[in-house]
Structure 1
Amino acid sequence: MAKKELSFKQGYEVLKKNVELLESQQDPDIDNLMKIVEESMAAYKACKSRIDAVQQALNETFKD
């Protein structure tokens, strides 16, 4: 089953949650680190994809 692509807002929330989680840890949670990194990378890619699409649309709109 294919994963549903995250919206920008969903991706941003995942990144925000993971940053807060990592910053709040007294001791690193090595057992879950790869899960957090993989989840964060997927969220980052979703956000970057949306930002790139908006940038391209703005460039097209204002190219003249």
Structure 2
Amino acid sequence: MPRRDAPTTYRDAYAALSRIAAELENGDADLDRVLPLIEEARAAYAVCRSRIEALNTALGEGTAPDDDTGSALDGSAADRSSADDSSDEDDDF
């Protein structure tokens, strides 16, 4: 299969990641195709990450954390769990 050009937009990169994930999950990729798929996925992931970091910077939020556990756009897991805890307390009364 011919090599695809690296995506340049977030939408194209996300679509590439979705396609690659589906191909790998379905077992459609033979062993000789896995390495090129991983290389393509890395390039697409880099595009997505750079766009998200640029957006975070433009919004004054800084960059996404290195550990990928949350981002400034969707809130951290700790923020969500503390909000969930407070709503549980209200249900007891």
Is the TM-score greater than 0.5? yes
- Greater Rg, structure 1 or structure 2? 2
* Corresponding residue SS for 1:59: coil
> Which stretches in structure 2 are left out of the alignment for 5+ residues?
62-93
**Distance (whole Å) between structure 2 residues aligned to residue 53 and residue 15 of structure 1:** 19
- Aligned identity (percent) is 33
Q: What amino acid is the match of 2:46? A: K
* Aligned residue in 2 for 1:23: 25
RCO higher in 1 or 2 (8 Å CA, sep ≥ 6)?
1
Matched pairs, number: 57
1:35-46 residue pairs with structure 2 within 5 A?
Answer: 35-46=36-47
Q: Which has the higher helix share?
A: 1
**Distance (whole Å) between structure 2 residues aligned to residue 47 and residue 59 of structure 1:** 18
TM-score, normalised to structure 2's length?
A: 0.55
TM-score, normalised to structure 1's length?
A: 0.79
1:1-64 residue pairs with structure 2 within 5 A?
Answer: 6-25=8-27, 29-59=30-60
Q: 1:37: Cα distance to partner? A: 0.3
**Distance (whole Å) between structure 2 residues aligned to residue 4 and residue 15 of structure 1:** 11
**Distance (whole Å) between structure 1 residues aligned to residue 56 and residue 14 of structure 2:** 17
Q: 1:4: Cα distance to partner? A: 6.1
After TM superposition, the runs of 4+ consecutive aligned structure 1 residues lying more than 6 A away are none
In the TM superposition, what whole-angstrom CA distance separates every residue of 1:29-60 from its partner, at most 9, and x where no partner exists? 21011110000000000000000000000017
